[in-house]
Amino acid sequence: MTLTAEQLQTLSLREATAAEQTAANAQRAAWALWASFAGWYSAEQVAALARQTAAISQQGRQVAGNLGMAYMREVLAGLRGAGVPTIRLDLPDARLGADLEQVYSRPAEAYKLTYALTEDPAAATKAAQDRLTTLVRDDLLVARRDGEHQQMKAAKVEHYRRIVHPERSKTGVCGLCLAAADRVYTIAKLLPIHDDCKCTTAPDGDAAAEVIKVDLEQLYKDAGGTTDGRALKQVRYQVNEHGELGPVLGVKGQNFQRRGEAPKGDPIERARKELAALEPVLASLERRSAAGEDVAAALAYQVNRVTKLRAIAA
């Protein structure tokens, strides 16, 4: 029994679509906890909400991982006809063992920083939602990749390929994925991904090679002789080891800060730039407080942040 390129493409697209819907469901459930949240400056309230959010993400990870595993079983059954082992999903710890309470407190940090800079609750809330959306999406993406990979390892697949899905992207083709699309990976290595990556995988073989060939030819044909088309072909990538997500794709030559490393650049200069933005906002909050407006929580955060930055700048 031989899986055709068309059948592989159909299975791969179906998995990508289901995984995207799973992520959307988890994001909605997580944001439902935060949407009416008012305790942005309470460490205890933020920690409690972060724990609930992590639990939602963990449930979504299980669904996404099982989707990846089920997809890969279908692909292997189509390629081999029989002999596909059935295994239980065994996901590694989320974020490679990072403290999930701290990870899922990041929406509150995004809120506080944005409010400190803008004094706009709507903008701060949007920043928190964007941060939460990215966290959940990335965690489920990694789980789906792990599910696919575990099933391939159990079936003793030695090499596999990346299947791109430009039709799933709202913002156009990802040049990083295209640049890496003709790469053959050994099973010892996880697929490098990036934020909101749409790629799936398939065992190396004629079907996978044909899907990739057709996709790339069509994409470059659609781009034609435009600057975008030439740019897609010129993208160069590198694989970086992310401290929480594992291997990720990045533009070649791009600085990449790993977990535990000191931030790049001059800390004094960074502190001075942030102070220049925050000091006028602090003065505004102080005036509003003096006029009787209740801005105590935001003012306390701002005073603490500015005090630290002044110490660094000095």
CA distance 124 to 102: 19
First to last CA, the chain: 71
Q: Is the pLDDT of residue 228 over 60?
A: no
What is the three-class DSSP state of 311?
Answer: helix
Give the pLDDT score at 171: 61
Give the pLDDT score at 226: 45
Q: Read off the pLDDT of residues 286-305 as tens digits, 9 standing for 90 and up.
A: 998 899 988 888 888 888 88
Q: Is the pLDDT of residue 242 over 70?
A: yes
**CA-wise closest residue to 98 among 246, 262, 248:** 246
Give the pLDDT score at 74: 95
Instruction: Write the DSSP assignment of 167-182 as a string of letters.
Output: GG-SS---HHHHHHTT
Q: CB count, 10 Å around CB of 132?
A: 22
Mean pLDDT within 219-233? 53
What is the three-class DSSP state of 205?
Answer: coil
Confidence label for 259 from pLDDT (cuts 50, 70 and 90)? low
Percentages of the chain per state (helix, strand, coil), in multiples of 5: 65, 10, 30
What is the three-class DSSP state of 248?
Answer: strand
Beta-bridge partner residues of 159:
186
One-letter identity of residue 115: Y
Confidence label for 227 from pLDDT (cuts 50, 70 and 90)? very low
**Is the model more confident about 185 or about 297?**
185
One-letter identity of residue 203: P
Give the pLDDT score at 223: 54
**Is the model more confident about 22 or about 260?**
22
Helices 227-234 and 206-223, packing angle to 10 deg? 140
**Is the model more confident about 211 or about 65?**
65
Give the pLDDT score at 15: 95
- Domain ranges across the chain: 5-251, 267-313
Give the pLDDT score at 291: 92
**Is the model more confident about 147 or about 295?**
147
Tell me which residue has tokens 């072909």.
233
**Is the model more confident about 257 or about 141?**
141
Mean pLDDT within 213-223? 65
